[in-house]
């Protein structure tokens, strides 16, 4: 058991022990002179005068002083505590050093300052202090568990280097919390060395830290927040009669430059420079950089945009990758009497698509056969009846996509078993200035592009459209504001058939003139063909789900490491931790890769504007003890229960005061004695 005091300040009351002694020693008899006649007739008697400068009753004084001392000690609230708790209270500090290693820390003015600050934190600790080292970006890595060996902590610190990942303070704080709690030291200290990236505070609000755990931040952000970075890349295919050209456009972003800056941007394809541009970057803003079209390389293409380096060189390069022949072949079956402007908007909108590239082949209904269907991903029947071609139904069941767009020629037409709905008479909405889309299933993949802006679909007006009656087993995924079906779908084997009566031309509505038209058609082609959007790049911190068709996938990372991810029920996944191009192989890492994926750091890492240090811990909660804490923290009832000595002392003080009263009034102290005066020699009898 250990001994402690809850209110040690009351021990200052022990100084009151000197008060009775000082008063006793300083006592003086003050005689008051009286006027008296002649003393010649009075007898002279000797008088004993007691010495007041010494203590004459030491036992009584000690008894009173002991009572006063015990009373002071009782008010200091002495408690008995467990030995382990006493040792924890007296042990040395436990410090967790969190070092930010996100991409923005690679600034030439930041990383050296961060390393110097981290070393100073370690070297300034006392000999018995313990320190743990944690590196973090969007994840936390414990580089060195708690140790009193400063050399080991400095050695672990020397392995740190900036990565190409984002910032996430929540993961770092959780790792530090777990270290301190596991060490049975709730009152630990967390020291964060960071540039205070504003995007990193996501997830901090609601974090629970034990009460008493202190957090200190060392900001090492650059003095100048000026930075230039490549923000994004767009790739377009230009199809010519004899060749296909590739057009690449980049977006360069600048922040807080002192003056406009001239830089050289270089386009690199498959490791070779393929074009350059001199561009003047504004002080703050973004500027497009378009390169001259080049011949589209065959196979899979690795690309990059490189700028002249500045203080933060990591974001001066931007990677992208795609497959050159990754195109979707669409058969547009339109009547012979269809005017050129009738399908103009439809063909132009799909012609500018690049994720993936869409090849449109126009076919008249009578020439659609098995040979035309071979290699096609989607068939669009533009206001024409469903051909009586058995191969078409078989093609759909094998995974093909069929989109039916009824028009004025479709009214009263006999329904086909392949269609998901029957077509009735036309609905005229001229009197109410056109109808609009009302009930739309935003959870459907067809409308995935509008989940953030659903109002974009409501802007289009439809003046005339056929009345549909959904067939059994079909699914209505969009309706007009009058409740009639606008888009109906039905699965057919491995493929799907969709019927759309929302006008896709400009004759029966203004949908082609609305901003939602282009993304709607692109999603329509991709969903109908069973394809996904071609991703030119992804951000670090995400995962790559590998194709399930690969039996022994092997991934070559940008730094040359080979990963062989294990397969599970979902498939194989690879965590994207590096910036660059990942290559996917089957079995051995050689030959032409089965897939490429470009990865870049999050764009937020290019913004060097820091947040206020007071905002870092906004929303962080502190509790007396965490749910997973293994520290023995006594409750208030337990603390009060350990104060038996306090009650015992008060009882002893009461007994001493009673004894002091008894002693002071007994024996010679409580009896007055008469002074006997003997006559002096020569005095008269």
Summarize pLDDT for 344-397 with one digit per residue, the tens. Answer: 888 888 877 666 778 888 888 888 888 888 888 899 999 888 888 888 888 998
What pLDDT is recorded for position 47? 60
From start to end of 92-173, where are the E strands? 94-100, 130-136, 140-147
Contact yes or no for 321/614 (Cβ under 8 A): no
In tens, the pLDDT along 573-589 reads 999 999 999 999 998 99
13, with CB counted inside 10 A (0-12, 13-18, 19+), is middle
In tens, the pLDDT along 427-484 reads 888 888 889 998 899 888 888 888 888 888 888 999 989 888 898 889 999 999 999 9
Tokens read off for 38:
């002649």
Pairwise CA distance, residues 430 & 442, whole Å: 27
> Which architecture characterizes domain 327-529 according to CATH?
3-Layer(aba) Sandwich (3.40)
| Class at the top of the CATH hierarchy for domain 538-603 | mainly beta
What pLDDT is recorded for position 632? 41
- The CATH number of domain 92-224 is 3.40.50.10490: no
Contact yes or no for 290/235 (Cβ under 8 A): no
User: At 631, is the pLDDT very low, low, confident or very high (cuts 50, 70, 90)?
Assistant: very low
447-450 contacts, C-beta under 8 A, 24 or more apart: 447/477, 447/478, 447/523, 448/523, 449/519, 449/520, 449/522, 449/523, 450/516, 450/519, 450/520
Beta bridge partners of 135: 99, 141
Q: What CA–CA distances, in Å, run from 110 to 104, 155, 194, 339, 503?
A: 8, 20, 9, 64, 57
Nearest partner of 328 among 277, 367, 375, 259, judged by Cα = 375
Least confident of 23-27, 158-162, 632-636: 632-636
| Other CB atoms within 10 A of residue 242 CB | 4
Pairwise CA distance, residues 487 & 446, whole Å: 10
Contact yes or no for 619/210 (Cβ under 8 A): no
Tokens read off for 193:
């060395």
Pairwise CA distance, residues 311 & 222, whole Å: 10
- Percent of the chain surpassing pLDDT 90: 41
Query: Identical fold at 92-224 and 227-324?
Result: no
Average pLDDT over all residues of the chain: 83
What pLDDT is recorded for position 685? 41
Pairwise CA distance, residues 237 & 324, whole Å: 9
Tokens read off for 344:
């103009």
Domain positions in the chain: 1-29+49-82+632-680, 92-224, 227-324, 327-529, 538-603
Nearest partner of 684 among 38, 39, 40, 43, judged by Cα = 43
Please report how the helices 58-75 and 644-664 are oriented relative to each other, as an axis angle in degrees rounded to 10: 160
**Cα angle: 205, vertex 206, 211; to 5 degrees:** 110
Nearest partner of 602 among 166, 104, 139, judged by Cα = 166
Which residues, in sequence order, are CB contacts of 440 under 8 Å at separation 6+?
Answer: 447, 450, 454, 457, 477, 478, 479
First to last CA, the chain: 77
Pairwise CA distance, residues 145 & 133, whole Å: 7
Q: Is 604 helix (H, G, I), strand (E, B) or coil?
A: helix
Cis upstream peptide for 356 (omega within 30°): yes
Which residues, in sequence order, are CB contacts of 612 under 8 Å at separation 6+?
Answer: none
Query: Quick one: how far is CA 605 from the chain centroid?
Result: 13
Tokens read off for 87:
């040792």
Pairwise CA distance, residues 640 & 634, whole Å: 10
What pLDDT is recorded for position 161? 96
Which residues, in sequence order, are CB contacts of 491 under 8 Å at separation 6+?
Answer: none
Pairwise CA distance, residues 626 & 638, whole Å: 19
In tens, the pLDDT along 220-258 reads 999 999 999 999 999 888 878 788 888 999 999 999 999
Pairwise CA distance, residues 96 & 144, whole Å: 10
Please report how the helices 344-351 and 517-529 are oriented relative to each other, as an axis angle in degrees rounded to 10: 70
Pairwise CA distance, residues 519 & 499, whole Å: 18
What pLDDT is recorded for position 26? 57
Residue 129 sits at φ, ψ, to 5 deg, of -70, 145
Q: Which residue has the tokens 């203080």?
A: 311
What pLDDT is recorded for position 370? 85
Residue 250 sits at φ, ψ, to 5 deg, of -110, 160
In tens, the pLDDT along 634-680 reads 444 555 555 566 677 777 877 877 777 777 676 555 555 554 555 55
Residue 630 has pLDDT above 90, yes or no: no
Across the range 320-345, mean pLDDT stands at 84
User: At 81, is the pLDDT very low, low, confident or very high (cuts 50, 70, 90)?
Assistant: low
CATH number of 227-324: 2.60.40.10
User: At 165, is the pLDDT very low, low, confident or very high (cuts 50, 70, 90)?
Assistant: very high
Residue 8 sits at φ, ψ, to 5 deg, of -65, -15
Q: What does DSSP say about strands 189-194 and 94-100: parallel, antiparallel, or unpaired?
A: parallel
Residue 75 has pLDDT above 50, yes or no: yes
DSSP annotation of 219 reads E
Pairwise CA distance, residues 160 & 158, whole Å: 6
In tens, the pLDDT along 546-555 reads 887 788 999 9
Tokens read off for 467:
């009345």
What pLDDT is recorded for position 202? 87
In tens, the pLDDT along 175-192 reads 999 998 888 765 689 999
Across the range 1-22, mean pLDDT stands at 67
- Percent of the chain surpassing pLDDT 70: 81
Q: Which residue has the tokens 């089957």?
A: 586
Max CA pair span of the chain: 170
Q: Is 285 helix (H, G, I), strand (E, B) or coil?
A: strand
Contact yes or no for 104/110 (Cβ under 8 A): yes
Model-level pTM? Answer: 0.66
Q: What CA–CA distances, in Å, run from 262 to 254, 265, 355?
A: 11, 10, 32
In tens, the pLDDT along 524-544 reads 988 888 877 678 999 999 999
CA atoms within 13 A on the CB side of 556: 16
What pLDDT is recorded for position 684? 45
Contact yes or no for 24/55 (Cβ under 8 A): yes
Which residues, in sequence order, are CB contacts of 666 under 8 Å at separation 6+?
Answer: none
What pLDDT is recorded for position 67? 77
Q: Is 546 helix (H, G, I), strand (E, B) or coil?
A: coil
């Amino acid at each position: 058991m250990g001994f402690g005091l809850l209110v040690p300040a009351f021990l200052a009351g022990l100084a009151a022990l000197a008060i009775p002694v000082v008063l006793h020693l300083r006592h003086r008899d003050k005689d008051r002179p009286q006027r008296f006649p002649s003393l010649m007739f009075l007898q002279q008697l000797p008088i004993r005068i007691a010495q007041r400068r010494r203590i004459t009753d030491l036992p009584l004084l000690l008894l009173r002083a002991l009572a006063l001392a015990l009373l002071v000690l009782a008010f200091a609230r002495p408690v008995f505590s467990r030995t382990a708790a006493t040792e924890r209270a007296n042990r040395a500090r436990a410090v967790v050093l969190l070092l930010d290693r996100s991409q923005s820390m690679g600034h030439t003015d930041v990383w050296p300052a961060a390393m110097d600050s981290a070393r100073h934190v370690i070297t300034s600790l006392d000999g018995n202090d313990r320190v743990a080292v944690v590196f973090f970006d969007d994840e936390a890595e414990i580089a060195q568990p708690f140790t009193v060996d400063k050399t080991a902590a400095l050695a672990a610190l020397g392995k740190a280097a900036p990565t190409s990942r984002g910032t996430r303070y929540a993961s770092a704080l959780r790792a530090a919390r777990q270290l301190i709690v596991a060490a049975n030291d709730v009152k630990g200290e967390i020291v964060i060395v960071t540039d205070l990236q504003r995007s990193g505070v996501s997830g901090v609000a609601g974090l629970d830290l034990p009460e008493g755990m202190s957090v200190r931040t060392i900001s090492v952000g650059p003095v100048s927040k000026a930075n230039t970075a490549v923000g994004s890349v767009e790739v377009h295919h230009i199809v010519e009669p004899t060749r296909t050209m590739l057009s690449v456009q980049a977006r360069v972003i600048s922040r807080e430059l002192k003056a406009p800056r001239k830089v050289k941007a270089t386009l690199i394809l498959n490791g070779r420079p393929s074009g350059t541009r001199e561009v003047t970057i504004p002080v703050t803003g973004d500027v497009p950089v378009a390169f001259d079209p080049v011949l589209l390389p065959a196979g899979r293409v690795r690309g990059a945009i490189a700028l002249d380096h500045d203080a933060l060189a990591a974001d001066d390069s931007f990677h992208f990758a795609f497959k050159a022949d990754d195109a979707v072949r669409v058969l547009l079956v339109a009547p012979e009497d269809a005017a050129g402007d009738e399908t103009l908007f439809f063909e132009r909108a799909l012609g500018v698509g690049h994720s993936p590239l869409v090849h449109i082949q126009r076919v008249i209904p009578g020439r659609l056969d098995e040979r035309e269907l071979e290699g096609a991903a989607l068939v669009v029947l533009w206001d024409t009846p469903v051909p009586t071609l058995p191969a078409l139904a078989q093609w759909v069941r094998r995974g093909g996509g069929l989109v039916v767009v009824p028009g004025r020629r479709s009214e009263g037409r006999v329904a086909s078993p392949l269609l998901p709905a029957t077509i009735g008479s036309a609905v005229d909405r001229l009197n109410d200035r056109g109808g609009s889309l009302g009930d739309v299933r935003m959870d459907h993949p067809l409308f995935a592009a509008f989940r953030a802006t659903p109002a974009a679909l409501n802007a289009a007006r439809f003046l005339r459209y056929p009345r549909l009656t959904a067939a059994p087993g079909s699914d209505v995924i969009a309706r007009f504001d009058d409740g009639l079906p606008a888009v109906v779908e039905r699965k057919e084997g491995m493929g799907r058939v969709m019927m759309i009566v929302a006008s896709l031309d400009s004759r029966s509505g203004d949908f082609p003139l609305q901003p939602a038209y282009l993304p709607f058609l692109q999603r329509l082609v991709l969903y109908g063909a069973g394809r996904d959007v071609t991703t030119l790049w992804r951000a670090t911190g995400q995962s790559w789900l590998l194709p399930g068709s690969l039996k022994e996938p092997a991934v070559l990372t940008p730094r040359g490491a080979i990963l062989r991810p294990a397969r599970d029920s979902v498939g194989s996944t690879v965590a994207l931790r590096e910036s660059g191009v990942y290559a996917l192989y089957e079995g051995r890492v050689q030959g032409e890769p089965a897939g490429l994926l470009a990865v870049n750091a999050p764009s937020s890492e290019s913004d060097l504007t820091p947040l206020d240090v007071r905002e870092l811990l906004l929303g962080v909660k502190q509790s007396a003890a965490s749910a997973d804490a293994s520290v023995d923290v006594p409750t208030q009832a337990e603390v009060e229960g350990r104060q038996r000595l306090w009650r015992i002392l008060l009882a002893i003080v009461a007994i001493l005061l009673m004894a002091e009263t008894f002693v002071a009034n007994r024996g010679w102290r409580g009896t007055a004695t008469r002074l006997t005066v003997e006559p002096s020699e020569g005095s008269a009898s």
